[in-house]
Structure 1
Amino acid sequence: MPALITPALVCAARHHGEHGAIARLLTPHHGLLAGYVRGGRSRAMRPVLLPGNAVKAEFRARTEEQLAGLSLELEHSRAPLLSEPLPAAAIDWACALTAAALSEGTPHPALFQALDGVLGAVEAAPAARGWAAALVRYELLLLAELGFGLDLGRCAATGGDTDLAFVSPRSAAAVSRTGAEGYESRLLPLPAFLLEGGTGEWRAILDGLRLTGFFLERSVLTGWRADVLAARERLVERLGRVVG
């Protein structure tokens, strides 16, 4: 089989054997791909395999069923961010979610662009509020790409498209204030920035994370995938401290 050479984002890596590592990368046109990195545990390769790094990847395999051998060239390192608790937690979660949620070999070009954008925002923003809303939108996009998208266009109760303020946890559809009357405690808040754009206030961002987290946990991060939720809990806890 011919080699595949592609830009990619490192999402996860784990030790394999005495010296190697298996890396999972998100690529723009081939989705999530895994490969064996010879010498992946070496001093030279460990900094390359950090989550969030942008790399040039070359996959080589004799057959489609065989785990590909993987060579990596570092294009852009985000290692300096990993010494900062909030950016490190955001990168850890976004990459862990991607590696756990996606099936290998299924193209998700919109997710590649969105994840690259979130990682760039974490790197460029002077404070967490500059990237937290983008992370919520990334989670919404991932839900939609996997077939669990939320219907935020119209009220599930009245059919109207104004004053949408809640989401039904049962139907994943928006509900207006009028339609929700008397049932507010049973619904999830729908932050306005998800409909109107912008970054949102902190309370709205936390509501957004609560919203996406509910559906990720229910529909995507089940079984063994639930292990990655610990990374999300660390991030939400640290963001909660910012709000105070």
Structure 2
Amino acid sequence: MASLTAPAIVCAVRAHGEHGAILRALTEEAGLVAGYVRGGRSTRLRPILMAGNLVALELRARTDEQLASATAELLASRAPLLAEPLAASAIDWVTSVTASILPESQPYPALYAALSGLLDAIGVASSARQWAGALARYEQLLLAELGFGMNLDECVVTGSTQELGFVSPKSGGAVSAAAAAGYEARLMRLPPFLHGADANPSLPDVIDGLAITGHFLDRDLLDGRNRDLLSVRERLIDRLGRAVA
């Protein structure tokens, strides 16, 4: 019997049958895993199986091909954050996109650590400005971990590491201000925090960063087809934009 016992971040829950639910959760060593939770729609388990929650997960299956049975005990609840629209939108988006694009049973320890840190930051921050940069960096890491990382360390035209101010929407490479002269309208503005030059970005910079990561997520991982998932992100960006205004 295949088994797993590990802390896990709840990423998605789907009703299955009359009372059960299929849980998808991210673990540090096994990556994204799925299991059937008996009674997962009950009043006792619904507060535990909420996106963003940290649970003690146990999976058991007779074969690797069989959907495992799962049990989950609450370790940390993010439910109070769901009463705040901006925080709720952020949690909805990051957990949904993680559940949708990661292949199952492949370890992504860096993503697990980054998602844990982002959710913790949302929980303790007094404003979106204190966690929004981590959201953009999480999307940047998703791209990199799945083979679509951006080259933001040097200019793709000249090789220079100085005055990197733009990103090519085609190559995902940085472009220096000098190389971009006359072509700025065709490029995307590169905020310093996306290449490690600013540890405390402003919200306008974060929104510019999210425009970049969103472009490549849509093109390379979501393929422009998952409109329901993209609409979750659009609501989040809209709320962040209103926070800037």
Residue 193 of structure 1 is matched in structure 2 by 193
Task: List per-residue Cα deviations over 1:128-186 (Å, max 9, x = no partner).
Answer: 00000000000000100000000001101111010001110111100000011111111
Contact preservation (8 Å) 1:202, 1:243: yes
Q: How far off is 1:188 after superposition?
A: 0.9
Contact preservation (8 Å) 1:217, 1:226: no
Structure 1 unmatched ranges of 5 or more = none
| 2: CA distance, partners of 1:238 / 1:224 | 23
Note closer, same or farther for the CA distance 1:235–1:185 as it changes in structure 2 (3 Å cut).
same
Task: List per-residue Cα deviations over 1:204-226 (Å, max 9, x = no partner).
Answer: 11100101000000000126644
CA RMSD of aligned residues (A): 1.0
Q: TM-score, normalised by structure 1?
A: 0.98
Residue 55 of structure 2 is matched in structure 1 by 55
Query: How many residues matched?
Result: 244
Contact preservation (8 Å) 2:218, 2:224: no
| 2: CA distance, partners of 1:212 / 1:226 | 17
- Runs of 4 or more above 2 Å deviation: 222-227
Aligned-residue identity in percent? 56
Q: How far off is 1:194 after superposition?
A: 1.8
| 1:76 maps to amino acid | A
Q: TM-score, normalised by structure 2?
A: 0.97
| 1:188 maps to amino acid | M
Structure 2 unmatched ranges of 5 or more = none
Residue 203 of structure 2 is matched in structure 1 by 202
Residue 162 of structure 1 is matched in structure 2 by 162
| 2:142 maps to amino acid | L
Residue 135 of structure 2 is matched in structure 1 by 135
Contact preservation (8 Å) 1:141, 1:149: yes
Contact preservation (8 Å) 1:154, 1:174: yes
| 1:233 maps to amino acid | E
| 2: CA distance, partners of 1:208 / 1:177 | 17
Contact preservation (8 Å) 1:101, 1:225: no
Residue 183 of structure 1 is matched in structure 2 by 183
Q: How far off is 1:227 after superposition?
A: 2.7
